[in-house]
Amino acid sequence: MSEHRAIEPPERETRIGGEEGRRGAGTQDDTIKALQSLPGLARSGAGAGEIIAWGSAPRETRFYVDGVEVPALYHGSGIRSVLPSGWVSRLGFVPGAYGPDHGRGLGGLVALDTRAPDVERWHLSAQLDLLDAALAASVPLGEGKSLAVAARQSHIDRWLPELGDADVGSLLSVPSYRDGQAKLVIALGADESLELVCLGSSDRLARESPSSDPNSRIRERSELAFARLYARYRRSEGGDRVEVTPFVGVDRSLARLSARDRRSNLALRHVPYGLRASETLSFGDDASLRLGVDAQGAFSDVEREGSLTLPAREGDPVAWGQLPSRDDAFDDYGTHVLDVAPYAELRLRHERLSLAAGARLDTYLLESDRVRPRQASIPPVGRSRAELAPEPRLTLEYELDPRVRLLAAAGLYHQAPDPEDLSATFGNPELALGRSWQASLGESVRFDPTLTLEVTGFYKQLTELATRSALPTPSSAEVLVSSGRGTSFGVQLLLRQTLAAGWSGWLSATLSRSERTGDDGQERLFDHDQPLVLSAVLNKIAGSWSFGARLRYASGSPRTPVVGASYDLQSDRYEPLFGTLDGTRLPAFFQADVRVDRRFELPGDMRLFIYADALNVSVRQSPEEIVYSADYREHAYLLGLPALLALGVRLER
């Protein structure tokens, strides 16, 4: 094996360490919630549970834990992440234009690495705050083996709805949630290891929209549960590295809306499976080659009934709390989507220039057991098709001097249709792969070893997006069509201070514009377009004390105004008449949070942490949605979180 050190690709991601993230104000001791303050992200609304990277829809960004994709990072609307902070060794975020080792998404990439448990000492952590209770432990098993387990159960769902704030109860998803993790690490050699990991998460939510008319109240029930079981083998020697990760899992989700005599139900069951394998070969100090395969598939069972227009899609004109339409349909079917993507990346370095040129060849198999709407006298007919999607990727880095770097990246990306969009009744089994060209150009200036400034301009072009057919009466099995398009462009800034003299933090800003075009050819704003998003995070460690502050500002998201209403005699209800699509905006969001915590050293190598996280000390409940009266003549705003004080205690050994 070569003794050379492998060349790392030009840095494309923003990284946060596990301890750095959990110290931040507004995170409630949760490392992954620090992600919500990074540049390149739009704010997703109350709770900030969705990731909207560079103008891409939330479902277009991919989440990975140790290289294994998971369906969600957070419980509810971002109340708590699905992994305990003590398990997170590194959080990496790339809003777009990432390398060839990942794909299947038109948005960004969030990658988490879990921490290896101590092979020499046992550790115990117990945590209790206003959100939940958690317990984690790790135990050495001898001969290079160790086991870590963790579990958590919520209780915020028991007290937050009792605040009497109807807006909070309606907007902020406050589920009953739990999660659990187990990790066994076996050291096979000095630089060789095997990890066996099991992850599980579950959310349940039931809520009712406020209305003075009981017949207008919408009752909502949703569930999301997933589990992952995977093994990760790693070996390194010199500059050569090998990593192999097979995995399997199961996901279950349910979204149910009901009001009066109307309803909408969507139930899904996925069985994902896959394999990630890569080998990095070093050729001297200035060249390396990475070869790998990224294979992932999923069997899905989908059952859907109710309105053709619910759940609402991005771009649909809809009033918050609007009742489902009276149309009623039903479909149940199965799909299988498999993507096998071999990839290669050549990394070269010559004097001040570094290059990472790569490509992946995504080979999709898309299968559905029903390609025409259900008809009682006709047996279902299935469909199987293959799609080939080559994806070139390129990253360049040039050092103007030891402190200043220029960085450029570009790539082509594809994404398969969601299983629920492949319905012959509610969607289209023949939807094409979504497609996106992404590019970025930036500069990084290091003022000293701990203070850096990064400025990045980005551009994203999206085509062949699934969108509603513009025809008044769409053809059979063509309720959705692959004619949607979009663009997103802007500039983002990150001024970051890593820990020095007890101080750390960052200032981030994103100035952008995101647009979409539907099947009718009409250009409009993206539903999550936010021209300006600002965040400032500051932390200070002073001995056993730690202090933090966070400020956030975001332009309001577009909304389609209601300009009138028509009376439906049959249903005895008013139906809204909409104005210009995305023709108005919500007011801007602003919030300030502060945090203080204290560490106590106890006998027996124990440590006690007590923290107070004060949310919304600016005492400004930001408008989060527009709500209308029953006849749509009057409107008001539903408001977000009031000022809250989150107290917590954590005991560690």
> What does the pLDDT look like over 510-540, one tens digit per residue?
999 999 999 999 999 999 999 999 999 999 9
Q: Which amino acid is at 221?
A: R
Split into its structural domains, the chain has a count of 1
User: Is the per-residue pLDDT at 259 higher than 80?
Assistant: no
Is residue 552 situated within a structural domain?
A: yes
Q: State the pLDDT confidence band at 170, using cuts at 50, 70 and 90.
A: low
Distance separating alpha carbons of residues 128 and 130, to the nearest angstrom: 7
The percent of residues above 90 in pLDDT, for the chain, comes to: 59
Nearest to 266, CA basis, from 253, 276, 277: 253
Is residue 588 situated within a structural domain?
A: yes
Q: Is 36 helix (H, G, I), strand (E, B) or coil?
A: helix
Nearest to 316, CA basis, from 479, 167, 105, 104: 479
Q: State the pLDDT confidence band at 173, using cuts at 50, 70 and 90.
A: low
DSSP string, 151-198: EEEE-HHHHGGGG--HHHHHHS---EEEEEEEEEEEEEETTEEEEEEE
The percent of residues above 70 in pLDDT, for the chain, comes to: 93
Distance separating alpha carbons of residues 63 and 112, to the nearest angstrom: 8
Q: Is 422 helix (H, G, I), strand (E, B) or coil?
A: helix
Q: Provide the pLDDT for residue 18.
A: 74
Q: Provide the pLDDT for residue 2.
A: 39
Nearest to 62, CA basis, from 98, 89, 114: 98
Is residue 6 situated within a structural domain?
A: no
Distance separating alpha carbons of residues 87 and 121, to the nearest angstrom: 16
Is residue 9 situated within a structural domain?
A: no
Summarize pLDDT for 45-54 with one digit per residue, the tens: 765 578 899 9
Of the two residues 118 and 159, the one the predictor is more confident about is 118
Q: Is 66 helix (H, G, I), strand (E, B) or coil?
A: coil
Contacts of residue 485, Cβ cutoff 8 Å, sequence gap at least 6 = 462, 463, 465, 516, 517
User: Is the per-residue pLDDT at 611 higher than 60?
Assistant: yes
551-589 CB burial, b ≥16 within 10 A, e <16: bbbbbbbbbbbbeebeeeeeeebbbbeeeebbeebbeeb
User: Is the per-residue pLDDT at 161 higher than 70?
Assistant: no
Q: Provide the pLDDT for residue 273.
A: 98
Residue 612 has which token pair?
Answer: 């107070």
Is residue 491 situated within a structural domain?
A: yes
User: Is the per-residue pLDDT at 1 higher than 50?
Assistant: no
Is residue 331 situated within a structural domain?
A: yes
Nearest to 270, CA basis, from 244, 295, 315, 301: 301
Q: Which amino acid is at 351?
A: E
Is the separation of the CB atoms in 264 and 291 below 8 Å?
Answer: no
**Mean pLDDT, to the nearest integer, of 544-557?**
93
Q: Provide the pLDDT for residue 4.
A: 47
For the chain, the maximum distance between any two Cα atoms, rounded to a whole number of angstroms, is 80
User: Is the per-residue pLDDT at 431 higher than 70?
Assistant: yes
Q: Is 394 helix (H, G, I), strand (E, B) or coil?
A: strand
Q: Is 642 helix (H, G, I), strand (E, B) or coil?
A: coil
Is residue 590 situated within a structural domain?
A: yes
Q: What is the CATH number of the domain that holds 266?
A: 2.40.170.20
Q: State the pLDDT confidence band at 3, using cuts at 50, 70 and 90.
A: very low
Distance separating alpha carbons of residues 309 and 313, to the nearest angstrom: 8
Is residue 377 situated within a structural domain?
A: yes
User: Is the per-residue pLDDT at 622 higher than 70?
Assistant: yes
Q: Which amino acid is at 2?
A: S
Q: Provide the pLDDT for residue 620.
A: 82
**Mean pLDDT, to the nearest integer, of 126-144?**
91
Q: Provide the pLDDT for residue 209.
A: 67
Q: Provide the pLDDT for residue 29.
A: 86
> What average pLDDT does the chain have?
88
Nearest to 424, CA basis, from 373, 389, 356: 373
- Segment among 392-396, 555-559, 589-593, 625-629 with least mean pLDDT: 625-629
- Segment among 150-164, 460-474, 506-520 with least mean pLDDT: 150-164
Instruction: Please give the residue range of the domain that contains residue 106.
Output: 14-652
Four-point Cα dihedral 552, 558, 563, 564, nearest 10: -90
Q: Provide the pLDDT for residue 574.
A: 83
Q: Is 281 helix (H, G, I), strand (E, B) or coil?
A: strand
Contacts of residue 558, Cβ cutoff 8 Å, sequence gap at least 6 = 525, 526, 527, 529, 582, 583, 584, 585
